[in-house]
Amino acid sequence: MAKKRIELMVCAGTGCVAGGAFPIMDELKKELKTRGLKDEVSVVTTGCNGFCGQGPLMVVLPDNIFYGWLTLKDVPHLVEEHFLKGRPVQKLMFTPPEEKTPIPLLSDIPFFKKQMLIVLRNKGIIDPEKIRDYLARDGYVALEKVLFSMKPGEVVEEIVKSGLRGRGGAGFPTGRKWELTLRQERTPKYMIANCDEGDPGAYMDRSVLESDPHSVIEGMIIAAYAVGSSQGFIYVRTEYPLAIERMKIAISQAGEYGLLGKDILRSGFDFDIEIREGSGAFVCGEESSLIHSIEGSIPEPRQRPPFPAVSGLWDSPTLINNVETLANVPVILTKGADWYSSIGTETSKGTKIFSLVGKINNTGLIEVPMGITLREVIYEIGGGIPDGKKFKAAQTGGPSGGCIPAEMLDSPIDYESLTKAGSMMGSGGMIVMDEDTCVVDVAKFFIQFTNDESCGKCVSCREGSEALLEVVTRIADGEGKEGDIAFLTELSETIKDASLCGLGKTLPNPVLSTLRYFKEEYEAHIKEKRCPALVCKGLTRYYIDPDKCVGCLLCRKTCPVGAVLGESKYVHIIEQDKCTKCGQCIEVCPPKVTAVKKVTGNDMEELEQLTETVLCAERRKR
């Protein structure tokens, strides 16, 4: 047989590659050859599948069987059982936690069922390093339509009609930005794709570049045609080597096929793309800083107006769009603005990719229609919270966003609803928190990040974030005082008002949002010296319950600083001034015993007294 009867679509996004996807692919090829199957079964490299928590993974086509948590050792058995003898291997399939029956088909797995793929339409089906695969999926059909049967103004009109909004974070109407740029008469004009995705935990743009780089190229060419640009740049952060490599290959292949460069498709339209790499500055995700970075100046934002559309790169009219926004463009042109605007809500059209991470069973990247509720995302797609813990809040928008608490689980996810709730869409990070997450700790984490990444130009952002961090840290360490909450609120509002760019303007959001919904948790830290989630080290102690301890010596042997006193069959005691709160003792205490626990607040005083008594008085024998 010349054609293959089975295709193994192996995920080779950065996550799975880090997990060992390439050695697994080599092993598969080797084993298939040994078994005489190499002409019947092909091994295909694909981009990110999305179900990252299950990686390394692959999908067997045409059956659509999903295999996850693959290791090298699994390969020989898998090849023999499934590909030679036709018997799919159950133990490699996805089984929901707490359940026994695996779900063989990808289309039946809840994580995938409610997703709607527009941007990620080609994921798992194409090899991102083969332009022919992209062509087969109607790639560059939109470009042909645009170049030969549409005027630039008509293209802009279609994007305006579609209701597409910027997917980088601010949600500005894309069509309006294109219109503004088209209207400029000065030349040359530039087109920039922003892939400086900096939010911690967000990797949607990386996934688009690694899985379907041509979708971005096609989007860029169409955008350039619409506004009248002939030179484009893709600004990618250096921390994305695989994305950069795949984009380089795609650009080179597109050039070879006459789809990029001079006289594209012999239409007379010229457009070329250069890659520029970032250098580790979060602020470069902000458009004016990004432009300065390309120019070779210090990446600091500047006053707007003038907006980049009027005066941007080298003072020329510049259109700058996010990667995910651009990947939507070819589909809008082929399927039509009416179709696109029929998806989503009144003000937020289309779909959005979210990176669903944190305290959630099904971790990974999901693409869902705007307007889906948080409850559907967390429980139906995400599979709920692990270990039966209670949902506390979902943090959206990364360091610029805020928390959506449990009472708002039924709110729709769209730009306006999230902003009204005190958060924002942002680039699509969605960090799920449960009862064991401390909101003060979360706020501290994000302020630490933005304080570190502040470019330093504005006093309000530079000094303001420093002051915010100092106060939040004090509260987390148990040294909060009366007046701190009022100070945090006032300072936050001031930073928002006085800062020049999005980084400064939104950095107080995690503080404001957590104060809005979880004020009692801040108050517990300040007034009661208590961390309800038992996270903040300054406010928690580790304590061995003398009624439960069986004197097995396990924690004493594990403790890295020798803080556990005890002998075999004698109740163990933790010396608080030596304890570093590493948590090892809780991990090793046998499940049937569970004598070690964390305490906070009033309980800490009681246990200090108890420890004194026990230490000084008789040692109890078990």
Residue among 149 and 303 whose Cβ is closer to another protein = 149
Q: Which of residues 68-87 bind another protein (CB under 8 A)?
A: 84-87
Residue among 86 and 296 whose Cβ is closer to another protein = 86
Candidate segments 18-26, 127-135, 308-316, 603-611, binder of another protein by CB under 8 A = 127-135
Distance between CA atoms of residues 161 and 151, nearest Å: 15
3-state SS assignment for residue 15: helix
Residue among 38 and 137 whose Cβ is closer to another protein = 137
Q: How many C-beta neighbours within 10 Å does residue 338 have?
A: 10
Omega of the bond prior to 56 within 30 degrees of 0, cis? Answer: yes
Q: Which of residues 206-235 bind another protein (CB under 8 A)?
A: none
Distance between CA atoms of residues 290 and 292, nearest Å: 5
Residue among 6 and 409 whose Cβ is closer to another protein = 6
Supply 562's token pair.
Answer: 């020798």
Residue type, 608: E
* HSE, side-chain direction, 13 A CA sphere, residue 454: 26
Q: In angstroms, what is the minimal distance from the CB of 529 to another protein?
A: 56
3-state SS assignment for residue 393: strand
Which residue in 133, 68, 126 sits closest to 96, CA to CA? 68
Residue among 132 and 578 whose Cβ is closer to another protein = 132
3-state SS assignment for residue 106: helix
Q: What share of the chain is helix, strand, coil (3-state, %, to 5)?
A: 45, 15, 40
Q: Between β-strands 364-369 and 402-405, what pairing exists: parallel, antiparallel or unpaired?
A: unpaired
Contact code string over 280-319 relative to another protein, x by CB under 8 A = ----------------------------------------
3-state SS assignment for residue 617: coil
Residue among 41 and 495 whose Cβ is closer to another protein = 41
Residue among 2 and 616 whose Cβ is closer to another protein = 2
Q: Tokens 């026994």, residue? A: 100
> Which residues, 6+ apart, have CB-to-CB distance to 90 below 8 Å?
102, 104
Residue among 261 and 546 whose Cβ is closer to another protein = 261
Distance between CA atoms of residues 432 and 392, nearest Å: 8
Looking at 103, 117, 144, 593, which residue binds another protein (CB under 8 A)?
144
Supply 284's token pair.
Answer: 């470069």
# binding residues, another protein (CB under 8 A): 37
Residue among 36 and 388 whose Cβ is closer to another protein = 36
Candidate segments 124-132, 171-179, 327-335, 469-477, binder of another protein by CB under 8 A = 124-132
9 phi and psi, to 5 degrees? -90, 100
610 phi and psi, to 5 degrees? -60, -45
Supply 6's token pair.
Answer: 């089975």
Q: 3-state SS of 183-235?
A: HCCCCCCEEEEEECCCCCCCCHHHHHHHHCHHHHHHHHHHHHHHHCCCEEEEE
Looking at 105, 135, 275, 498, which residue binds another protein (CB under 8 A)?
135
| 52 within 8 A of 365, measured Cβ to Cβ | yes
Neighbouring-strand partners of residue 599: 541
Candidate segments 133-141, 271-279, 288-296, 408-416, binder of another protein by CB under 8 A = 133-141
Looking at 7, 27, 197, 286, which residue binds another protein (CB under 8 A)?
7
3-state SS assignment for residue 261: strand
Residue among 140 and 282 whose Cβ is closer to another protein = 140
Supply 274's token pair.
Answer: 């250069």
Q: In angstroms, what is the minimal distance from the CB of 118 to another protein?
A: 17
Q: In angstroms, what is the minimal distance from the CB of 329 to another protein?
A: 19
Candidate segments 250-258, 313-321, 349-357, 487-495, binder of another protein by CB under 8 A = 250-258
Q: In angstroms, what is the minimal distance from the CB of 258 to another protein?
A: 4
CA distances from 253 to 135, 250, 334, 571 (A): 12, 5, 22, 70
Distance between CA atoms of residues 351 and 366, nearest Å: 10
Residue among 139 and 312 whose Cβ is closer to another protein = 139
Q: Between β-strands 41-46 and 58-61, what pairing exists: parallel, antiparallel or unpaired?
A: unpaired
Does residue number 275 form part of the binding site for another protein (CB under 8 A)? no
Supply 144's token pair.
Answer: 């042909």
Residue among 214 and 505 whose Cβ is closer to another protein = 214
Q: In angstroms, what is the minimal distance from the CB of 266 to another protein?
A: 6
Residue among 188 and 258 whose Cβ is closer to another protein = 258
Convert 22-41 to b/e letters by CB count within 10 Å (16 or more is b): eebbebbbebbeeeebeeeb
Q: In angstroms, what is the minimal distance from the CB of 572 to another protein?
A: 51
Q: Which of residues 10-69 bind another protein (CB under 8 A)?
A: 61-64
Q: In angstroms, what is the minimal distance from the CB of 265 to another protein?
A: 5
Looking at 33, 77, 132, 578, which residue binds another protein (CB under 8 A)?
132
Q: Which of residues 251-270 bind another protein (CB under 8 A)?
A: 256-259, 263, 265-266
Tell me which H or E stretch contains 44: strand 41-46
Looking at 72, 95, 97, 148, which residue binds another protein (CB under 8 A)?
148
Neighbouring-strand partners of residue 395: 403, 431
Q: In angstroms, what is the minimal distance from the CB of 203 to another protein?
A: 24
Q: In angstroms, what is the minimal distance from the CB of 33 to another protein?
A: 17
Neighbouring-strand partners of residue 195: 236
Looking at 9, 11, 223, 564, which residue binds another protein (CB under 8 A)?
9
Looking at 22, 76, 138, 467, which residue binds another protein (CB under 8 A)?
138
Q: In angstroms, what is the minimal distance from the CB of 576 to another protein?
A: 57
Looking at 18, 72, 136, 298, which residue binds another protein (CB under 8 A)?
136
Q: In angstroms, what is the minimal distance from the CB of 25 to another protein?
A: 17
Q: 3-state SS of 528-580?
A: CCCCCCCCCHHHEEEEECCCCCCCCCHHHHHCCCCCEECCCCECCEECCCCCC
Q: In angstroms, what is the minimal distance from the CB of 117 to another protein?
A: 13
Q: In angstroms, what is the minimal distance from the CB of 97 to another protein?
A: 22
Which residues bind to another protein, rule: CB under 8 A?
1-7, 9, 61-64, 84-88, 125-126, 132-133, 135-141, 144, 148, 256-259, 263, 265-266
